[in-house]
Structure 1
Amino acid sequence: MTPPARRDGTPEKKGFRARGSDSSPKQSERQPRAAEIPLSNARPARHQNVDMRARRKNTGTDDAESVRLQKVLARAGVASRRHAEVLIDKGRVEVNGRIVKAQGVRVNPNVDVIRVDGVRINVNEDNEYFLLNKPRGMLSTMSDDQGRPCVGDIVAERTVSGQRLFHVGRLDADTEGLLLLTNDGELANRLMHPKYEVAKTYLATVLGEADKRLVNQLRKGIELEDGVAKADYVQIVDAHNGQSLIRVELHEGRKHIVRRMLKAAGFPVQRLVRTKLHTVQLGEQKPGTMRALNNSELTSLYKAVEL
C-alpha cells in the first residue's frame, strides 16, 4: 500500500503515521520544514576576515587592552575628548614615536608611549608616583628586620593592598625631606643614573658662620677620599650665632656627599633636608606625609631623563 502523502506531496517517512496518530511526535519535537525557516535579509558583514595580526601591528596593541586615543588623552587630563581630537588632527600626538592623525586609533595605556607636542603623557593607570617628606630618624627602606622606623611604615596601607612601591634613591636616617616613591622602574632607574645628572637641592644647617669663601670652595670642588666633589650651586641663606643655613644644589649621587663636602670645608652639618629633585619641590609639606605628583611635575621628570 502506498504510504499516505504529506501536504507538500512527499510521502510520509517510514515509521511515522499520518497526522493525528497517537505515535506522531509532539509539536515541539518536530523539525521545521524548509518553508517554516525565515530567511534573513541582513547583508553580510564587511571585512569578515580581518587580519588581527596586521591590526595589532598597525596600532601597537591588542584589542583586549585597547582604548581610543582621544579617550586616553582626556582621562590623563591633557584635554577634553573633543579637544584631544583636534590635537590629533593637527598631528600633535604621537604613539610609540609615530605621529597619529587618524581618529579612532586604539592604544594600550599600559604599554604604549604617548606624547603631545613632544612631551610624554602619563597614561598608565597602574603607575603611581608619590612625594614623601621623610622624617629625621627614619630609614629609607620598605621594611626593617630590627623593627626600626622605615619608609615602608608610612606606605604600609598601599603595600598591603597589593601596590608595591619603592623609593627612588636613599636618604640616610639623619637626613630628612624629599623622597620619591613609585612603581615605575624605568623612571626610577633613570633618575638615579649619573648619565642624566638630575639635580638635587639641600638645605644644610652647619656649625660656623659661612662666607663667600665656602661658596667658591664648594663650586670649585673639594677633594674627598673617593674623588673631587663639586656643587652646581651654593647660596648662604643665613649666618648668625655661630651657625649658617646653606643651600646646596648638585647632581652627585655618592653616599653622604653633602655632609662630607661641608665637613671637609670645615662646616660640619647639624641638620640636612632635601628640598627639591629637579623641579619637584617639597614646599610646605609636613614630615611623615606623602602626596601624589601632579601632571606637570611628572612631565618635568620625564623630560629630565629623556623618557
Structure 2
Amino acid sequence: MGICVNEVKTEKLQKVLARSGMGSRREMERLIESGEITINGKTATLGDRVSMQDMVAIHGRQIKLTAEEDVPRRVIMYNKPEGELCTRNDPQGRRTVFDRLPKLKGERWISIGRLDINTSGLLLFTTDGELANRLMHPSQQIEREYAVRVMGDVQPEHVKNMVEGVMLEDGLAKFTDVQEFGGEGINTWFHVVIMEGRNREVRRLWESQGLTVSRLKRVRYGSIFLDKRARAGEWIELTQQEIDQLTELTGLPKRRKRDTTENREKIDRQRKKTRAIRNVNKHSRPKQEQTK
C-alpha cells in the first residue's frame, strides 16, 4: 500500500506576486522577463511556479508572499475628471488618477482598465491583481458603458454599422448596444456598450462614421455603475455586495472582506482629506484658469 504524501500547492509566479500587492500580472511578467525577480536565489523565468514556502525577491528585496485565502479584496470606485492621466507618475508633473487615492501599507492600487486624458467617469481600482487581470481580459467579455456627446448628424445607418462592426487599424470593433439619450444638434447624447478596452476605441468607432465625440464619460464597468457617492475627483470604497458581484463576473471564489470599525473610520478620514485637498486646489488656481 502506497504512502499518501500531501503535494505542495504551487501557482504561477506572476499570479502570486500580483496577489501579494506587487502590481498587475502584466507588470510582474515584465519584471520576470527583465530578470529582476529571483526564486530561492535563482533568476526567475516566465512559467515558473512557486509555493508559499519559496523565497522570492524583487530587485534583491525579499517579498512576503500572501496565500490566496488570506487576501481580502478591496475595490474602490473613482470618478475621474478630464485632464488626469491613468499612470502612476508623469514626467511632466501632470496630475494622475493615483494622486487622490487612499494610501496603502504593504499593498498598491491596481487600475482596472484605463481612460484617456480627455475621458472622465468611472475607474475601478483594486488590491487584487488576479481580479484586475480577469476584469480586463477580453475573454471575460465584461461590459463597459459610456455616455457620449456626439457632434454631427447621426443616422440609423451609422448606428447599424457600429453595432455590426467596423474594421479599425487594430482589428474589428463594435458596440453591443447604442441608445440615444436626448439632446439635439451638437448636444446629442448616446449611451454605448462595448466589451473591450482598446485605446480610444469608443471615439474611433464614432470617427469611422464621420462623427466627432465632444464629451465621453464612462458610467458603468461590469456590474458597477458610477453614482453620486463619488463626485468628480473623489473615490468611494465598494461594499462587500458590490465586490461579490464583480467577483462573480470573473468566476473567482468569493472572500471575506476585513471591514473593522477602525478601518472604516480610517477610510472616512482619508476621503475627507482628499476632498479638502481638492477644494484647496480648486480655489487656489488663478481665476482665469478656473473659468476655462
Q: What range describes the TM-score normalised by the shorter chain of this pair?
A: 0.5 to 0.7
- SS of 2:182 mapped into structure 1: strand
1:144 aligned onto 2:105: no
**1:276 alignment partner, one of 220, 225, 234:** 220
Rate the CA distance shift 1:130–1:216 in 2: closer, same or farther, 3 A: same
Return the offset for 1:144: 1.8
Counterpart position of 1:305: 250
1:225 aligned onto 2:169: yes
- Deviation string 1:67-100 (CA, Å, 9 cap, x unpaired) is xxxxxxxxxxxxxxxxxxxxxxxxxxxxxxxxxx
User: How far apart in 1 are the matches of 2:216 and 2:236?
Assistant: 21
- SS of 1:275 mapped into structure 2: strand
User: How far apart in 1 are the matches of 2:128 and 2:68?
Assistant: 14
For 1:134-173, what aligned pairs fall within 5 Å after superposition?
A: 134-155=80-101, 157-159=102-104, 161-173=105-117
Q: Could you list the structure 1 runs, at least 4 aligned residues long, displaced by more than 4 angstroms after superposition.
A: none
Return the offset for 1:112: 5.4
Of structures 1 and 2, the one with the larger relative CO (CA 8 A, separation 6+) is: 2
Q: In angstroms, what is the RMSD of aligned CA positions?
A: 2.2
Return the offset for 1:162: 4.5
Q: What amino acid is the match of 2:79?
A: N
User: How far apart in 2 are the matches of 1:130 and 1:206?
Assistant: 30
1:182–1:188 CA contact under 8 A, matched in 2: yes
Higher helix share: 2
TM-score norm. by structure 2 comes to 0.60
- SS of 1:270 mapped into structure 2: strand
Return the offset for 1:198: 0.6
Rate the CA distance shift 1:254–1:112 in 2: closer, same or farther, 3 A: closer
1:209–1:243 CA contact under 8 A, matched in 2: no
User: How far apart in 1 are the matches of 2:201 and 2:243?
Assistant: 26
- SS of 2:162 mapped into structure 1: helix
Counterpart position of 1:257: 201
- SS of 1:238 mapped into structure 2: coil
User: How far apart in 2 are the matches of 1:256 and 1:222?
Assistant: 14
TM-score norm. by structure 1 comes to 0.57
Counterpart position of 2:238: 293
Rate the CA distance shift 1:296–1:211 in 2: closer, same or farther, 3 A: farther
Counterpart position of 1:188: 132
1:136–1:175 CA contact under 8 A, matched in 2: yes
User: How far apart in 2 are the matches of 1:241 and 1:229?
Assistant: 26
Q: Out of 203-212 and 166-175, give the one that drifted further.
A: 203-212
For 1:19-34, what aligned pairs fall within 5 Å after superposition?
A: none
Counterpart position of 2:144: 200
Question: Higher Cα Rg: structure 1 or 2?
Answer: 1
- Deviation string 1:191-222 (CA, Å, 9 cap, x unpaired) is 11111011100011110242433321211111
User: How far apart in 1 are the matches of 2:155 and 2:189?
Assistant: 11
